[in-house]
Amino acid sequence: MAGTAEVLETVDETMDAALGRLFDLLRMPSISTDPAYEDHCRATADWLVAELNDIGFEASRRDTPGHPMVVAHARAAGPDVLFYGHYDVQPVDPLSLWDHDPFEPQMEERDGGAVIRARGASDDKGQLMTFVEACRAWKAVHGTLPANITILFEGEEESGSPSLVPFLRENKEELSADLALVCDTGMWNAQTPSICTSLRGLLGEEIIITGPNRDLHSGAYGGPAQNPIRVLTKILASLHDETGRVTVPGFYDGVRPVSNAMKAQWDTLGFSAEDFLGKVGLSEPAGEQGYTVLEQIWARPTCEFNGISGGYAGDGFKTVLPSEARAKVSFRLVGEQDPLAIRDAFRAQVRAMVPADCSVDFLEHGASGGVAMPTDDPAFEQARAALSAEWGGTAVFTGGGGSIPVVGYFKEELGMDSMLVGFALDDDRIHSPNEKYALRSFHKGIRSWVRILAALRDA
């Protein structure tokens, strides 16, 4: 670990400047899913390019048909790694539920310590900056870096990553490394860092049901006219059976039971389903019958409804029969489930339920399968030891319920495995109003990357 202590000391001494840089990044409203924010996404990419060049990377903005990528290289001896993060963020609505402007970050003192509150503070700007700041500190002390590092920042992670696979294919040689480091996951709890060893995939679909060629008066047409909301609710209600299982034919093909060894490890985590659900006002697991909450999140696929709209939704009442109704539906996938086969089966099931005089259209919102990490690669135990040293406890291997499609793409397109290390906490409210990132996550996150890079170098 030669030279590590000095770097850690530099991290501690330069925290104010590091926070200033993070706040600058958080002020940029890089909402990728809404075309109105296109210029802001490009400006955010430019800001990161300048930041990385300032540290000594060779960085550039790489335009795509969507939002640009940022790619940077710092050639050095040592392990060959690619670091991935995303600079785009989720939409902020409903804006009225935020305590302040989501793009005007604020430091707040809380019982559990200071937090940085802003959209993207945790997902993923705060996280990606832990790695950037670790590099900056290392470079400041040693004039070089402890690894041969490529950085890839994406701007479409929250909108299905349409440009990512083409970009990986076009730049395969440039982006391939021995291992990808990805910082977009969480701690097991505020004291215990975690390396995530599995992720669920995500298939996103939008259903648009169209009936009459215009909105109708429910007095004049109610009865004989098709109502697209009624058609849509019948379809959505058919997607789960009474035990919570998804009814799409073949949906569970490729889903494997959790091994006894993995279950035994999960049992040691001290997970409390009561606490986990209680934090969000719930008390009973509502997923598939016969599975624990951890299994439901980490090892079982789902079908969820993320948005629905149709007709009049304002104050008061309007006796309208709408011409159209829409729903956004997503499937979390595990194991060897095939996203494209499931998309086909889902669409066929929906089409079969669309009656005469109605039509259905589908919009694609991403399709990626679940992934499992190669925990037998020694790098995983080296990183775990580095994390344990920084946080003063035993870092753990856990599953992940969310989707980080890039991990699957790295494997499929570049043959590259990923190691997922992140410092988010369960109560970070990612994707919700008042998102935050603990100052401690940011500070010790930077220090963690310093230690992990040193550990990989010394292996």
Is 198 an interacting residue with respect to a copy of itself (CB under 8 A)? no
Site for a copy of itself in 15-54 (CB under 8 A): 32-35
Structure tokens at 64: 């795509």
Q: Please enumerate in sequence order all residues whose Cβ is within 8 A of that of 153, keeping only pairs 6 or more positions apart, or say none.
A: 45, 48, 69, 70, 71, 84, 85, 86, 87, 128
Q: Which of 325, 406, 420, 421 touches a copy of itself (CB under 8 A)?
A: 325
Q: Please, which of residues 360-389 interact with a copy of itself by CB under 8 A?
A: 365-366
Using CB under 8 A as the binding rule, the residues of this chain from 406 to 445 that contact a copy of itself are: 426, 429-433
Q: Does 320 bind a copy of itself (CB under 8 A)?
A: yes
Q: Is 355 in the site for a copy of itself (CB under 8 A)?
A: yes
Tell me: does residue 257 bind a copy of itself (CB under 8 A): no
User: What are the φ and ψ backbone dihedral angles of 375, each rounded to 5 degrees?
Assistant: -70, -5
Ramachandran sector of residue 313 (left: φ over 0; alpha: ψ -120 to 50; beta: rest): alpha
Among 317, 352, 376, 378, binds a copy of itself (CB under 8 A): 317
Q: What's the rounded Cα separation, in Å, for the pair 431 and 184?
A: 13
Phi, psi of 139 (to 5 degrees): -65, -40
Examine residue 277 and tell whether it contacts a copy of itself (CB under 8 A). yes
Buried b (16+ CB within 10 A) or exposed e, 297-318: bbbbbbbeeeebebbeeeeeee
Residue 237, interface with a copy of itself (CB under 8 A)?
A: yes
Q: What is the footprint of a copy of itself within residues 331-350 (CB under 8 A)?
A: 332
Q: Among residues 169 and 234, whose Cβ is nearest to a copy of itself?
A: 234
Q: Which is nearer to a copy of itself, 9 or 357 (CB)?
A: 357
**According to the binding rule CB under 8 A, does residue 308 interact with a copy of itself?**
yes
Closest to a copy of itself by CB, 217 or 351: 217
Q: Binding mask 123-162 vs a copy of itself (x if CB under 8 A, - otherwise)?
A: -----------------------------------xxx--
Place of tokens 């429910």: 218
Is 110 an interacting residue with respect to a copy of itself (CB under 8 A)? no
Candidate segments 61-69, 130-138, 223-231, 379-387, binder of a copy of itself by CB under 8 A: 223-231
Q: Are strands 371-372 and 69-74 parallel, antiparallel or unpaired?
A: unpaired
Q: Is residue 64 a contact point for a copy of itself (CB under 8 A)?
A: no
Residues in the chain: 459
Interface pick for a copy of itself out of 191, 213, 260, 268 (rule CB under 8 A): 213
Interface characters, 66-105, with a copy of itself (x: CB under 8 A): ------------------------xx-x------------
Residue selected from 322, 369, 399, 405 as contacting a copy of itself according to rule CB under 8 A: 322
Q: How far is the CB of 140 from a copy of itself (least distance, A)?
A: 36
Of 217, 241, 351, 394, the one binding a copy of itself (CB under 8 A) is 217
The token duo for 181 is 């480091």
Nearer to a copy of itself, 134 or 248 (CB): 248
Close Cβ partners of 102 (under 8 Å, ≥ 6 residues apart)? 29, 92, 95, 118, 119, 433, 435
Nearer to a copy of itself, 33 or 176 (CB): 33
Q: Which residues of 262-296 are buried (b: 16+ CB within 10 A; e: fewer)?
A: beeebeeeebeeeeeeeeeeeeebebbeeebbbbb
**By CB under 8 A, is residue 357 in contact with a copy of itself?**
yes
Query: Which residue lies nearer to a copy of itself by CB, 37 or 103?
Result: 37
Q: Using CB under 8 A, count the residues that bind a copy of itself.
A: 97
Q: How far is the CB of 275 from a copy of itself (least distance, A)?
A: 12
Pairing verdict, β 179-182 and 418-422: parallel
Distance CA 87, CA 41 (A): 8
Exposed, middle or buried, 174 (CB in 10 Å: 0-12/13-18/19+)? middle
Gap between the Cα atoms of 336 and 269, Å rounded: 26
Q: How far is CA 213 from CA 224, 246, 310, in A?
A: 14, 32, 14
Verify binding: residue 352, a copy of itself, rule CB under 8 A: no
